[in-house]
Structure 1
Amino acid sequence: MSEPLPDHLGAYPLPTLPALSVPDPRSLLDPDPQPPRNGLRCGNPQCGWQVGAPFPGAPTRLTGFCRNCGTRYSLRPQLKVDEQLDNGRYRVLGCVAHGGLGWVYLAEDTRLKNRPIALKGVLNPHDARARAAMLEERDRMIAVTHDSVVRILDYVTHPGEQPVDYIVMEFVGGRSLREVVAESGPGGRPFGPRGPALTLDHVALYGGQVLSALQALHDRGLVYSDMKPDNVIHHGSRVVLIDLGGVQRAGDTARPPVITPRYASPEVAVDGGPPTVAHDVFTVGRTLAELVDAVAEPPAAGLGPTSLRRLLERATADQPRERFTSAAEMAGQLDGVLRELAAASTGHRHPAPSRVFTPTPVLLDDGLGAVPGLAHWQHRERAQYRDPGPVSPVLRHGRPEPFRVAVGLPVPVPHRADPAAAALRTLTPRDARGAVRQLESLLGPAEESGHGSVEVLLHLCRAHLRTGDSLPAGDAARAVERERAAARLARAAEALDARVPGGAAHDWRIAWHTGLCHLAAHDTAAAEREFGRVHAALPGEYAPKLALGYCAEQRDALADSERLYRAVWACDPQPDSAAFGLARIHLARGDRDEAARVLGLVPAMSLHSDAARIAALRIRAARLSPGPEGLPDPDSLLTVLRDLPQAAPALDGGAGAGAGAGQEHARLTAELREWALDWLRCVRRDPARAADRERLPELASELFCGRGTGRRGTGRRGTGGPGPQEPPTEQALRTALAQSFRDLAPQSTDRALHARLLDLSHAVAPRVWFRSGGPGRAGRAARRRR
């Protein structure tokens, strides 16, 4: 049995990081601070030798002169315990650690009730380049205010034999992600002895805060450069980026980058290029991948772990153009992945609107949630209602045709940088052909030169598909519109390639529309490949999962389709199409109860809640397969009969049962009576269903006393059948079904169909046999004539 779906009652808050108690700052003091084991590069820019590196069999010299150029160096901490700076405002408590360029000291701000602060100075006070780099760090970071970036509070100079500058920063106590990784694993508790183990939810939460901090830097034209688990502190219930010594201007080639090769991108670590936004994205991907590897507990069921893996694969792609274009884009996808993970771990839905796709009002269903029209009975034969076999057809599962899905999937949000983005938001066409005319008016000479609007061409592609969908299935013009859509798409790809060579191959919008065109051509295998590319590029989005779920359903890969539809349910604010997809999967497995339960979870505020209620009623009463095993059990049938009056507002006219019920109500009643007749005949003739026969009096009350059919029963002498205490008979149910057909006949304006419905009424009505010579006045008169 599949895992339960997340519920739909409200939007539950997302999980948060465990709150870590901030340790006593003095407990972090290093009693024996040591400089880097391999020393540092000489402070002379023209030298490049290492100073302070140990020699075999000899102690490390922490002070001295460079053996190559004679430049003085000192790698000892410059500040001593209780030493004071800025006229006594800051009192040194000791050394904590060292970063890539400088020592970090713990101190107290005596003017603010001895609030702990951190002092950062250079490792080697004789290194002019290091001092200049620290001044750059101060100037760049003093204006950055973000909860996940350590704040710079002040800047002081300490006089001495060699004056040294110090940055005053907020003190961030907690655990680095390096410590979280080290303390995870089987049985590990990185958040304390009573805290939880590290989970994928925590990894996604870490990533979201880190990416938000990086975006704040990127917005100022800066890159962090040296992201790694050591430089992120879990402080309370948030994370903070520390060690800002590697922050520099994006693309700056004048300064050597501060990187850790294990986490650096290939274009920086191998090719020697400058750090960029793409490099920062890569380092975050490597950092999160290390955290994922430290997760020991098996993840909850669902597609979330796979989506997270796809996200990290894109972030750490070898080619920069294949990665996320910004930290914000990666954060948006990671938020969607987090909602998938949280839905599986908490059992609640965590919906949020997509930043990339706009939901459409189209329900991807083919009649499961609709009351059948009169054409449902158009080709029935009279003999069907006289033969001992079944009279009702098997319920159609409602899988829509591929062309319908191509025009019903969510629509990509126009790219903000597109020159026609504003104009596209003002379009209000009445139909698909009108949309084509309006969009063509936006094309101009720029489009022909390859510098026009790509979005207009993509909109035209979809408009041609909608035009084709409005035509009959066998109309040759459908193929013409599909070819026009493909031509518009090819032109959009050419325009992208004209701007950036090979750009179309890496643009998910082209892959998405290519998949739509393949669907319109009923080539679901090719469409699935294209939607898979979109899913790899946007692993946190629900739209590609919905498209892939349909493609998997088309090739009868029900398990794959179910996982994808469930992932959509966890994140999509309007999960109607996913709910109907899941219902179809359960129907294909013969599980009518689960199919109806899924549709019952569609919220009342949803656009297609009425369709879901109608579909649930039909599923509970329907014949699912030709044999007797395809009929419902008594409990399912009773549920339908009792719920039918409450479903009246979902039908046309909003009329309740028994008081001017609408035409849809009459048709649904006829369909239910057909299924009930088959059920009754099966129960009365099948010895194996003796237990079901004991429920016949209960069913009689629902079938013939007005509660389920909208007509008051009048006993044996009325048309409704037996009274409430009498078991239903096939004759009585035939009488009720005949009445239904007489009610349906006036709905038809087609003479042939009107006559067919009346013929069916006569065919299904019970036969009445008359004999002459019986008792009464007619019998006596006959005897006198003899």
Structure 2
Amino acid sequence: MTACQEPGCTGRYEDGWCNVCGAPEPRQAPIEATPVRPGPGGAAGTTSPAVGDSRASGSSGSSVGADPAQGSVQVVATPAPGQTQQAVSAARVRRRRAGAAGRRSRLGLGLTDVPDVPVTDPTEKLMVDPRVPEDRRVCPVCGADVGRAAGQAEGRQQGFCPQCRAPYSFTPKLDPGELVAGQYENVGALAHGGMGWIYLGRDKNVSDRFVVLKGLLNTGDEDALDAAVAEQQFLAQVKHPLIVEIYNTVQHDEDAYTVMEHVGGRSLKQLLQDRMAEAGRYTPFPVDQALAYVIEALPAFTHLHELGLLYCDFKPDNLIHEGDGIKLIDLGGVRRQDDLDSPIYGTVGYQAPEVAEVGPSVASDIYTIGRTLCVLTFEFRGYQSEYVHSLPPLSQVPAFSEHDAFYRVVARCCAPDPNDRFLSVEELRSQLVGVLRQVVAASGPGRPATLSAHSPAFDPPVTTGETLSWWELPELQRDDTDPMLDWVSGRSTNDPQATYEALAGAPEETPEVFLARARAGIRMGQRGWVEEAVRGLLAEDPWDWRGSWVRGLWALSQAEGEHVRERAQEAGGHFAAVRDALPGEIAPRMALALATELAGYDQAAELDYERAWRTDAAYVAPAAFGLHRVRLARGDVDGAIAALDSVPASSRAHPRARWLRAELLRRRGGLADLRESMHSVTRLTLDPRQRAQFNAVIYEQALDQVTEHGPQPDWRVGEVPLTRDALQRALEREYRVLADYTPDPQERAGLIDRANAVRPWSWT
């Protein structure tokens, strides 16, 4: 298996798909790379007006180059005889656009499409009149408003704070054309951020490549100065393809500047503004596209967290979409996880509520990710005021009401208690991928899933029957990191009593030991065993959702007789807790559907069965049988048949689905139904007695129809024309076959009598 090419992913391609992130394996043929010298317009491995990107294919006179330092491949096109350089460039653009139109975006894991953002001239982004808006001018010392307009007079860009008399200045330090540190030419101001002016520069020592120069917004702010120095130190050690790269740190006129990689494209905030300008109203991203962006960015967070760093200030402004990729920028708020003294930088509306009291953490980074998803997917009015630490009601947010899995993943990211959030970015990423699958499935045509999803929490279901019981639900995946896993596996037997007794002597009590005891207790019907095991499990981790899963299985196992509804409702509550903890998983949906079905809530059960049926091919068969049951219960025979039709021929449950389909059609009893019923079982492997019995019932019903409505010789049931004579002969034959396979003499004689009675010449 080859390594996955997705940035930050550690997986490998297996059966055409990455076994970690789910991305499809690239199928294009590799490009033969030949080293070339950089042309006069740029260096190998960089992009400039004279250098094509790695997706272009050379035309006449093209050459291919690879920069060993960058590991990238480029195609440099030169004009053919009689062809201008402009014509070559135009052809390259046409090829690029045609290629983009004919392929799926790299963003979205192959599940959805995210339009590419073309690379533009960075000079088009320069500010014409670089100014800091008056409402963002505050004193660097006391935080008072400064530089505000008084009457008709315009607010001053620099001066002294009227409250504490500290000096302030909001004017750019660099003039266009000014050479910084003898190497970087300032082209102009790009933007002003929370901590400094951001300039576009050209590196005069490296092919005039574009760079970003980041300086201080307010040189009197000591906290801002410390943060800038800290950012430079962090950036120097952070090397990741999804994170903006630092090239250098320089001094110029007693000021420090960070020289960074220039990232083109548009930030997600700018893309939102573009969408609003085009539509004339706020137009958020579709939920699937927003998820694709965030999923792609999460490996960058994982990398930072593994280095002991926290990002702290994630928001749409700081994620850039360029071409078919993204880049995380502006690490100005990054700090070490064990840093308890440095100033904390964040943005109101995105920052977690506990940060002011206990400081940032992995959990607070996850909070910013959830808030960013909100801003990307709906007009989040009041997110910095009324809803600064809460979410609006579901009824006000179409993205939430239409995709409840999306709401649940956002709600867990933004939980007020950091302990209720995801433990890690990797856990969050796994659930976001599952939510993306559900969103795409719900937004597409109503058909069953054709691809199975890898679950880190559950094994796929294995049931093949039309009913579903607690023991046929997906099993929890074993934790390979549990030190007692092998010991537990060696003591598991088919006898739950013996298994439990063996587990009682465990040298160390770990989650796998508790779960094995709970399974034995459920099989034995011993509630005490189950509760004792769950209490031990939760003592290790009170937020372990597996405790709710086990309790749900126990309640479902007791849902029998007069206690069916009560126990099923109890099970549904536990499974709902697991669904909320793992909104991207299908197994809790399936378990909840079964519980609500048994509790009599057919409509809710149908919704969850359909979600499973649409999302994951491993669940299509059991979910289809569930849809068949709940639809049949309300008298929707056509819907029940349609559900059975969706069970794929490759499934072990397909024969049973065809048989049930045939039975439904037969019971409905119309001539067309009888024909289709017979056709449904034609290719099924049935024993001779079972097939003869089924055929006999079909011919009996068809004969009644012909007697009542008259013959239809142009129609056939199987190979038998719909005439009285033909049906009588066929029925006689099936009765005699049944008699041959009937051991009871009296029953056999009765079948022979029926065969004789139905013979055409005996009919009166």
**TM-score category, normalised to shorter length:** 0.7 to 0.9
Q: Which residue of 2 aligns with 1:419?
A: 483
Q: Which residue of 1 aligns with 2:616?
A: 572
Are 1:85 and 2:186 an aligned pair? no
Contact 2:703 2:724 in 1 (8 A): no
Q: Which residue of 2 aligns with 1:276?
A: 361
In structure 1, what residue type is equivalent to 2:627?
L
Q: Which residue of 1 aligns with 2:208?
A: 114
Give the TM-score, by structure 2 length: 0.74
- Describe the SS at the equivalent of 1:646: coil
Note the 1:285-684 alignment, pairs <5 A. Answer: 285-294=370-379, 305-347=403-445, 349=449, 350-363=451-464, 365=465, 398-400=466-468, 405-415=469-479, 418-421=482-485, 423-424=487-488, 426-427=489-490, 429=492, 431-433=494-496, 436=499, 440=503, 443-444=506-507, 446=508, 452-465=509-522, 468=523, 481-483=524-526, 486-499=527-540, 503=542, 506-522=543-559, 523-575=567-619, 576-588=621-633, 590=635, 592=637, 594-606=639-651, 608=652, 611-622=653-664, 630-642=667-679, 644-647=681-684, 651=685, 664-684=686-706
Rounded to whole Å, the distance in 2 between the matches of 1:494 and 1:197 is 45
Rounded to whole Å, the distance in 1 between the matches of 2:418 and 2:115 is 34
In the TM superposition, residue 514 of structure 1 has moved relative to its aligned partner by: 0.8
In the TM superposition, residue 97 of structure 1 has moved relative to its aligned partner by: 0.9
In the TM superposition, residue 152 of structure 1 has moved relative to its aligned partner by: 1.8
Closer, same or farther in 2 for the Cα pair 1:67/1:615, shift >3 Å? closer
Are 1:145 and 2:239 an aligned pair? yes
Q: Deviation digits for residues 372-426 of structure 1, max 9, x if unmatched?
A: xxxxxxxxxxxxxxxxxxxxxxxxxx444xxxx21111112234554324545x5
Determine which of 190, 196, 209 is the counterpart of 1:102.
196
Q: CA RMSD in A?
A: 3.6
Rounded to whole Å, the distance in 2 between the matches of 1:186 and 1:70 is 42
Contact 1:217 1:224 in 2 (8 A): yes
Rounded to whole Å, the distance in 2 between the matches of 1:278 and 1:221 is 13
Aligned residue-pair number: 628
Rounded to whole Å, the distance in 2 between the matches of 1:310 and 1:333 is 10
Contact 2:671 2:702 in 1 (8 A): no
Q: Which moved more, 1:235-244 or 1:90-99?
A: 235-244
In structure 2, what residue type is equivalent to 1:702?
E
- Describe the SS at the equivalent of 1:95: strand
Rounded to whole Å, the distance in 1 between the matches of 2:596 and 2:207 is 64
- Describe the SS at the equivalent of 2:364: helix
Rounded to whole Å, the distance in 1 between the matches of 2:529 and 2:404 is 34
Q: Which residue of 2 aligns with 1:784?
A: none
- Describe the SS at the equivalent of 2:212: strand
Rounded to whole Å, the distance in 1 between the matches of 2:548 and 2:311 is 32
Contact 1:357 1:411 in 2 (8 A): yes
Closer, same or farther in 2 for the Cα pair 1:243/1:571, shift >3 Å? same
Closer, same or farther in 2 for the Cα pair 1:732/1:174, shift >3 Å? same
Q: Which residue of 1 aligns with 2:390?
A: none
In structure 1, what residue type is equivalent to 2:494?
D
In the TM superposition, residue 276 of structure 1 has moved relative to its aligned partner by: 0.8
- Describe the SS at the equivalent of 1:528: helix
- Describe the SS at the equivalent of 1:561: helix
Rounded to whole Å, the distance in 1 between the matches of 2:754 and 2:248 is 92
In the TM superposition, residue 760 of structure 1 has moved relative to its aligned partner by: 5.3
Determine which of 742, 761, 767 is the counterpart of 2:751.
761
Note the 1:152-167 alignment, pairs <5 A. Answer: 152-158=246-252, 160=253, 163-167=254-258
Contact 1:189 1:198 in 2 (8 A): no
Closer, same or farther in 2 for the Cα pair 1:685/1:164, shift >3 Å? same
Give unmatched runs, 5+ long, in structure 1: 1-9, 366-397, 447-451, 469-480, 625-629, 652-663, 704-723, 747-753, 772-786
- Describe the SS at the equivalent of 1:566: helix
Contact 1:137 1:245 in 2 (8 A): yes
In the TM superposition, residue 482 of structure 1 has moved relative to its aligned partner by: 1.6
Q: Deviation digits for residues 298-341 of structure 1, max 9, x if unmatched?
A: 99999971111111111111111111112221221111111112
Q: Which residue of 1 aligns with 2:719?
A: 702
In structure 1, what residue type is equivalent to 2:373?
L
- Describe the SS at the equivalent of 2:403: helix
Q: Which moved more, 1:317-326 or 1:119-128?
A: 119-128
- Describe the SS at the equivalent of 1:245: coil
Q: Deviation digits for residues 595-644 of structure 1, max 9, x if unmatched?
A: 444444433443x2xx31342144235467xxxxx434334433443454
Determine which of 237, 248, 255 is the counterpart of 2:342.
255
- Describe the SS at the equivalent of 1:516: helix
Q: Which residue of 2 aligns with 1:74?
A: 169
Higher relative contact order (CA 8 A, sep 6+): 1
Contact 1:359 1:574 in 2 (8 A): yes
Contact 1:700 1:727 in 2 (8 A): no
Rounded to whole Å, the distance in 2 between the matches of 1:98 and 1:615 is 64
Q: Which residue of 2 aligns with 1:265?
A: 352
- Describe the SS at the equivalent of 2:211: strand
Give the TM-score, by structure 1 length: 0.72
User: Which structure would you say has the larger Rg?
Assistant: 1
User: Identical aligned pairs, as a percentage?
Assistant: 30
Determine which of 3, 11, 24 is the counterpart of 2:121.
24
Note the 1:33-72 alignment, pairs <5 A. Answer: 33-35=130-132, 37=134, 48=142, 50=144, 52-54=146-148, 56-57=150-151, 59-64=154-159
Q: Which residue of 1 aligns with 2:279?
A: 188
Rounded to whole Å, the distance in 2 between the matches of 1:64 and 1:125 is 13
In the TM superposition, residue 279 of structure 1 has moved relative to its aligned partner by: 0.9
Closer, same or farther in 2 for the Cα pair 1:304/1:407, shift >3 Å? farther
Q: Deviation digits for residues 274-309 of structure 1, max 9, x if unmatched?
A: 01111111111112112221499x999999711111
Q: Which residue of 2 aligns with 1:168?
A: 259
Contact 1:250 1:274 in 2 (8 A): no
Rounded to whole Å, the distance in 2 between the matches of 1:427 and 1:759 is 57
Contact 2:661 2:677 in 1 (8 A): no
Rounded to whole Å, the distance in 2 between the matches of 1:340 and 1:429 is 35
Q: Which residue of 1 aligns with 2:738?
A: 741
Determine which of 195, 214, 217 is the counterpart of 1:123.
217
Rounded to whole Å, the distance in 1 between the matches of 2:279 and 2:444 is 22
Closer, same or farther in 2 for the Cα pair 1:416/1:633, shift >3 Å? same
Q: Which residue of 2 aligns with 1:13?
A: 110
Contact 2:272 2:284 in 1 (8 A): no
In structure 2, what residue type is equivalent to 1:552?
T
In structure 1, what residue type is equivalent to 2:258?
I
- Describe the SS at the equivalent of 1:118: strand
Closer, same or farther in 2 for the Cα pair 1:681/1:133, shift >3 Å? same
In the TM superposition, residue 220 of structure 1 has moved relative to its aligned partner by: 1.6
In the TM superposition, residue 354 of structure 1 has moved relative to its aligned partner by: 1.0
Give unmatched runs, 5+ long, in structure 2: 1-16, 18-23, 25-108, 382-395, 560-566
Contact 1:314 1:323 in 2 (8 A): yes
